[in-house]
């Protein structure tokens, strides 16, 4: 069932490229099938409630005519290529299920990292009577009340990507990564590659997000085994290269020699650029499966550069939709599921020498794989 797939997206989600005979679609718009328009993130978040409500009205009416389930998708943020890829995979799965008549509409709402806005968007979905809500949460706790409201209304909530949340609602289902294992694997590799001693930088994600909290825990667990390794800087990058490069440009002149960099994703190549711009020797930088980094590693890195590339898998957007429909169809779906992450090794990186800059390397699967591997 497993197949290799690349999805490449220009920043802003305006254009989608298919690679290796496979493709995906992306949308950063706050409503279902409308094309993205240029607007600021603040404007998008402010308008999300009204836009979602209007789209949901039409979609729920369609559902009443027997055209399939109406699914809401509440995304806490879509300002980086990973989140845009996740939305693209979800939209691709929606188009598949629309053809079979199982789904009428998937309505997208993005809250620009504002928990109150995300709560409002979920509540709007409830008022409109959508059949299920997929949620990439901005907080482990702030959405619990809205999730409980949805559950009380008989609307399943499927948490993806940045969980877990602490909700105990009956109809709360969670699809998480083993983030501690993911970050532990990367951190252990970097620690061993630098000889078990030295200085490292930890590039984190968005402050307060549960994914970042758990990823950081995974880093710390490994570092307990390496008392001679010191974290000389922790930098929040929101998983974006531009912020990582800017922050590193400010921090690097204040530090002694840096031997390694551990990153959650979206900023590995930015770290390369920051060290190069500062005229410093390159440390061992953990990769993030983005095209920029993989191309650099395959084509430009110093000979024998020893690292590994690891990332969460944005295909969990599609997984969330398949799970939502199975729940609504009455299938036996577990309340907690673990989604695999992706790894590229030094022996494999040559295969990615020509990948598009904005590509995200990850395995993709299909509906049968979800049922066979996650419903255990």
How buried is residue 330: exposed, middle or buried, by Cβ count under 10 Å (0-12/13-18/19+)?
exposed
Query: For 276-289, what is each residue's pLDDT tens digit?
Result: 999 999 999 999 99
Give me the mean pLDDT over the 126-152 stretch.
98
Model confidence at 125: pLDDT above 90: yes
Average pLDDT value over all residues in the chain: 86
Query: Between these two residues, 8 and 318, which has the higher pLDDT value?
Result: 318
What gap in Å lies between CA 287 and CA 307, rounded to an integer? 7
On whether the CB atoms of residues 121 and 74 are closer than 8 A, the answer is yes
| pLDDT, tens digit (0-9, with 9 covering 90-100), for 246-255 | 999 999 999 9
Higher pLDDT among residues 14 and 320, named by residue:
320
Write the secondary structure of the chain as one string of H (helix), E (strand) and C (coil).
CCEEEEEEECCCCCCEEEECCECCCCCCCCCCCCCCCCCCHHHHHHHHHHHHHHHHHHHHHHHHCCCCEEEEEEECCCCCHHHHHHHHHHHHHHHHHHHCCCEEEEEEEECCCCHHHHHHHHHHHHHHCCCEEEEECCCCCCCHHHHHHHHHCCCCEEEECCCCCCCCCCCEEEEEECHHHHHHHHHHHHHHHCCCCEEEEEEECCCCCHHHHHHHHHHHHHHCCCCCEEEEEEEECCCCHHHHHHHHHHHHHHCCCCCEEEECCCCHHHHHHHHHHCCCCCCEECECCEHHHHHHHHHCCCCCCCCCEEECCCCHHHHHHHHHHHHHCCCCCCCEEEECCEEECCCCHHHHCCCCCCEEEEEECCHHHHHHHHCC
Q: What pLDDT digit, counting tens, does each position of 5-53 carry? A: 333 332 222 222 223 222 222 222 233 433 222 333 333 344 444 444 5
* pLDDT at 81 (0 to 100): 87
Domains and CATH numbers, the chain: 3-177+313-341+358-374 (3.40.50.2300), 179-311 (3.40.50.2300)
């Amino acid at each position: 069932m497993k197949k290799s797939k690349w999805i490449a997206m220009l920043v802003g989600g305006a254009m989608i490229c298919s690679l290796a005979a496979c493709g995906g679609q992306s949308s950063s718009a706050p409503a279902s099938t409308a094309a993205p328009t240029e607007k600021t993130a603040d404007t998008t978040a402010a308008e999300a409630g009204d836009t979602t409500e209007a789209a949901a009205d039409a979609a729920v009416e369609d559902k009443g005519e027997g055209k399939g389930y109406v699914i809401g998708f509440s995304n806490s943020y879509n300002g980086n290529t990973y989140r845009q890829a996740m939305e693209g995979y979800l939209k691709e799965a929606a188009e598949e299920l629309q053809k079979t008549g199982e789904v009428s509409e998937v309505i997208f709402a993005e809250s620009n990292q504002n928990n109150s806005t995300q709560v409002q968007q979920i509540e709007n979905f409830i008022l409109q009577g959508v059949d299920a809500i997929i949620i990439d949460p901005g907080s482990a706790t702030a959405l619990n009340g809205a999730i409980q409201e949805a559950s009380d209304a008989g609307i399943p909530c499927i948490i993806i990507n940045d969980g877990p949340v602490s909700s105990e609602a009956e109809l709360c289902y969670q699809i998480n990564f083993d983030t501690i294992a993911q970050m532990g694997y990367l951190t252990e590799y970097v620690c061993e590659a630098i000889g078990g001693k030295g200085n490292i930088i930890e590039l984190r994600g968005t402050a307060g997000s549960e994914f970042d909290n758990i990823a950081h825990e995974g880093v710390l667990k490994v570092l307990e085994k390496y008392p001679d390794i010191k974290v000389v800087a922790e930098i929040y990058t929101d998983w974006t290269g531009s912020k990582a490069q800017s922050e590193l440009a400010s921090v690097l002149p204040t530090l002694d020699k840096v031997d390694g960099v551990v990153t959650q994703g979206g900023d590995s190549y930015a770290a390369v650029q920051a060290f190069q711009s500062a005229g410093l020797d390159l440390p061992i930088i953990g990769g993030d499966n983005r095209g920029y980094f993989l191309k650099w590693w395959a084509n430009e890195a110093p000979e024998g550069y020893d690292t590994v590339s690891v990332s969460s898998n944005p295909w969990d957007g599609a997984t969330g939709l398949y799970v939502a429909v199975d729940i609504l169809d009455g299938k036996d779906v577990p309340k907690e599921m673990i989604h695999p992450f992706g790894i590229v090794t030094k022996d494999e990186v040559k295969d990615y020498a020509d990948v598009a800059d904005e590509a995200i390397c990850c395995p993709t699967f299909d509906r049968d794989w979800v049922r066979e591997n996650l419903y255990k």
